[in-house]
Structure 1
Amino acid sequence: MLIPTTSKTTKQRIIVISLVASVILIAVISLGIGYSSVSFNRIIPTFIGQGTFKEEFVIYSIRLPRIIITILAGMALAVSGAILQGITRNDLADPGIIGVNAGAGIGVAIFFLYFPIDVGSFIYALPIIAFISAFLIAILIYIFSYTKGIGLQPIKLILVGVGFSMACSGLMVVLISSSEREKVDFIAKWLAGSIWGTDWPFIIAILPWLLILIPFTLYKANKLDLLSFSEPVAVGVGVRVEKERVLLLVAAVALAAAAVSVTGGIAFVGLMAPHIAKSIIGPRNQLYLPIAILIGGLLLLIADTIGRNIIEPEGIAAGIMTALIGAPYFILLLLRK
């Protein structure tokens, strides 16, 4: 039995409101707990200017920018995963699994290890460097996954992507093997998915990417629906398949690169968020994408909050926490599909 569109739209709004409330709740919890804790009854007074110097420092300089970065990065990874799953017609596609994140990591590592770094421009250059590197890897993956006369082969794309991801990881080890200890420590934390861009300039650096590319993806939601069908069907209704695929692929790579440039190698968020959203509301992109965006932010925020507080003071990297949840989920999907 088909559920009327109006009913689904109402359901979507209720879910979106519930998810926004959940994000706010987890953000408040994350603000109050940690190595330097701030009691929950002091959070609101601190926000309205009645906090002590320590409370204001902990919230405004340490916790709040990290929470915002984490939410934004989770949202970006969720949209990137949804795009990749749509254009490849493969439910296992994820920027971390198919090599996009690893491609971004190569660019970040080379830039950080071998180029002179100016603190003022480093933050804003990082997403651009990550995007260029990830895009080059994505193009190679696309070329190797494409067969003339057949088109893009979804299973082949996953296998090629995993191969490129492993190759990039190997190259990363070679790059850091002869580098300075301090720089190696940074790259090691990046690889583990440690949220390192925890200051306000990092938010300013990645926010424009999201403000442009997330609305663009929502605008293209109908095209994503059509691309999820077979190529003859998409062509038959007037979709320029290759053009739309390339545009959406660029958007997916840019979103993933912007996210991982400040969070490190986070995997599985882009896999889980779209799947959870589809299971709640259905596979139509116009309905599930806004939900997936919020779920992505919520998942990464929960992972970072737990990881940050489970072992003090260093904690466990958010990328490791998402892998602990996401790897079994990936295996389950693999067995089912």
Structure 2
Amino acid sequence: MIHPALLRKQRVVLSVLLALIIATFAIAMGIGYSSLSYDRLIPTLLGQGTFKEEFVLFSIRLPRMIVTLLAGMALALSGSILQGIARNDLADPGVIGINSGAGVALAVFFLFFPVKAGAFVYLLPLVAFAGAIVTACLIYLFSYSKKSGLQSVRLVLTGVGFSMALSGIMIVLISSAEREKVDFIAKWLAGNIWGSDWPFIWAILPWLVILVPFAFYKSQRLNLLSLNEPVVIGVGLEIEKERLVLLVTAVALAAAAVSITGGIAFIGLMAPHIAKALVGPRHQLSLPIAILIGGWLLLFADTIGHNLVDPEGIPAGIMVALIGAPYFIYLLLRK
């Protein structure tokens, strides 16, 4: 049973995070290359703006912000699940190579399998998932031992090794590609939010609608998997079956996010830690908070980076890395 005081604290934190997201949305809607005055936001949202105001808001800014928010949520939830099943605070889809696996699959698909624009958007998450799940399975196999089970330290080290190897494969792939396609892949690698139109929202949204409730449903199992294996076996949980189901869930969330936003790391590392620091380690409490923190972090990073330097701005992936890399080093030294 969860103490009522913790539930109250969770509600307060959720309310603050929702307010932060709304405030960031409001600020982001009004700033940019084509400014939109704040006193015109509400009339424009209600359909009473000029053609230019409605085009800037509904065709450029809102889709990008919604995509960024959804992707940040997916990456945060993926990181929370990975840290739970691996029992390792350093597990993150970007750090352990899952994002790189998705990226290689996307690069191969983009370079060698020309598809019509309409179908391309909706195929991206599936292609990214295929690459990410193959990578995740290989990392899992190399990290698993029959005697001691899944070794968390080996998981991170193996994942980092796979990430470096896949980055090398990516360089080989783009070295002989056309300049236009190389530019696209380079932007993906930098974590540039390139999928900034309404079809990309419909491409990523079904994955979250299905997988977020499923992760909440499995939150109690995540609590158990975070314990030592003898304890988990003692309560009758099928460890490997639950791990594999949750691993597929985490990989699917990460793949759906990075297929639209590019190679963004550290969101899945930071958001779960901040959530657990606020409400404790129980996943029933921390998962909703981690999701909102991840969404807000990526939205905030993209808003700052996109408006910091004209005209292209700084990719969100680089802005997140500037925050996340020192945090990763801190966790590595602490653990």
Which residue number corresponds to residue 203 of structure 1? 201
Question: How far does residue 316 in structure 1 lie from its aligned partner after superposition?
Answer: 0.3
Counterpart amino acid of residue 328 in structure 2: F
Q: Give the one of 59, 62, 65 matched to 2:63.
A: 65
Alpha-carbon distance between aligned partners in 1 of 2:2 and 2:57, rounded to the nearest angstrom: 45
Question: How far does residue 235 in structure 1 lie from its aligned partner after superposition?
Answer: 1.0
Taking only the aligned residue pairs, the percentage that are identical comes to: 68
Q: Give the one of 105, 111, 116 matched to 1:113.
A: 111
Question: How far does residue 4 in structure 1 lie from its aligned partner after superposition?
Answer: 6.3
Q: Which runs of 5+ in 1 are unaligned?
A: none
Q: Give the one of 180, 184, 187 matched to 1:186.
A: 184
SS at match of 2:33: coil
SS at match of 1:58: helix
1:265 aligns with 2:263: yes
Q: Give the one of 237, 250, 253 matched to 2:251.
A: 253
Q: Which runs of 5+ in 2 are unaligned?
A: none
Which residue number corresponds to residue 138 of structure 1? 136
Equivalent residues in 2 for 1:179-328, closer than 5 Å: 179-328=177-326
Which residue number corresponds to residue 100 of structure 2? 102
Counterpart amino acid of residue 254 in structure 1: A
Alpha-carbon distance between aligned partners in 2 of 1:55 and 1:108, rounded to the nearest angstrom: 35
Counterpart amino acid of residue 195 in structure 1: I
Write out per-residue CA displacement over residues 291-335 of structure 1, whole angstroms, 9 at most, x where no aligned residue: 000000000000000000010110000000000000000000111
Which residue number corresponds to residue 148 of structure 1? 146
Alpha-carbon distance between aligned partners in 1 of 2:2 and 2:125, rounded to the nearest angstrom: 41
Alpha-carbon distance between aligned partners in 2 of 1:255 and 1:5, rounded to the nearest angstrom: 30
Query: Following superposition, which runs of at least 4 residues in structure 1 exceed 3 angstroms of deviation?
Result: none
Which residue number corresponds to residue 125 of structure 1? 123
Counterpart amino acid of residue 275 in structure 1: H
Alpha-carbon distance between aligned partners in 1 of 2:2 and 2:111, rounded to the nearest angstrom: 55
Question: How far does residue 55 in structure 1 lie from its aligned partner after superposition?
Answer: 0.5
Question: How far does residue 148 in structure 1 lie from its aligned partner after superposition?
Answer: 1.2
Counterpart amino acid of residue 186 in structure 1: F
Counterpart amino acid of residue 315 in structure 2: A
Alpha-carbon distance between aligned partners in 2 of 1:197 and 1:103, rounded to the nearest angstrom: 19
Cα RMSD after superposing both structures: 0.8
Alpha-carbon distance between aligned partners in 2 of 1:31 and 1:273, rounded to the nearest angstrom: 24
Alpha-carbon distance between aligned partners in 2 of 1:31 and 1:243, rounded to the nearest angstrom: 45
Question: How far does residue 117 in structure 1 lie from its aligned partner after superposition?
Answer: 1.9
Q: Give the one of 34, 37, 40 matched to 1:39.
A: 37
Q: Call closer, same or farther: CA 1:4–1:105 in 2, change over 3 Å.
A: closer
Provide TM-score, normalisation by structure 1.
Answer: 0.99
Q: Call closer, same or farther: CA 1:4–1:248 in 2, change over 3 Å.
A: closer
Alpha-carbon distance between aligned partners in 2 of 1:130 and 1:65, rounded to the nearest angstrom: 21
